[in-house]
Amino acid sequence: MCSLYKNGWMAQYGLLFEFSISSYYVGQYQESLDACDQLLTMEDLPQGLRDQTSINRQYPLKKIEEEKASAAQASIAEQEQKAG
């Protein structure tokens, strides 16, 4: 067995923490946000990782909000174009 998986913390929350970061950087913002939310529900998550996860959570949340706003603007512009 690989020594990486002998560390309980890696399987318990380490891989999910890395996934939350990696998914953000490849544009999978909802997956990143979901992973952060899942991490924050873990009672045994160390405080340092909890703090960093709370900070990291803001990044995909902002991108999701920007995408929603952009989609809404595009929809309005499309409706105006059809009406005009």
Q: pTM score, two decimals?
A: 0.81
Dihedral sign for Cα atoms in the order 61, 64, 66, 68: negative
Residue 1 has what pLDDT? 45
Task: Give 14-63 pLDDT, tens digit per residue.
Answer: 999 999 999 999 999 999 999 999 999 999 999 999 999 999 999 999 99
Helix axes 15-25, 47-83, angle to 10 degrees: 30
More confident: 42 or 75: 42
Distance CA 49, CA 51 (A): 5
> Can you tell me which residue has the tokens 């998986």?
5
Residue 67 has what pLDDT? 95
Mean pLDDT, to the nearest integer, of 60-76?
Answer: 91
Per-residue pLDDT at 82 exceeds 60: yes
Distance CA 44, CA 84 (A): 58
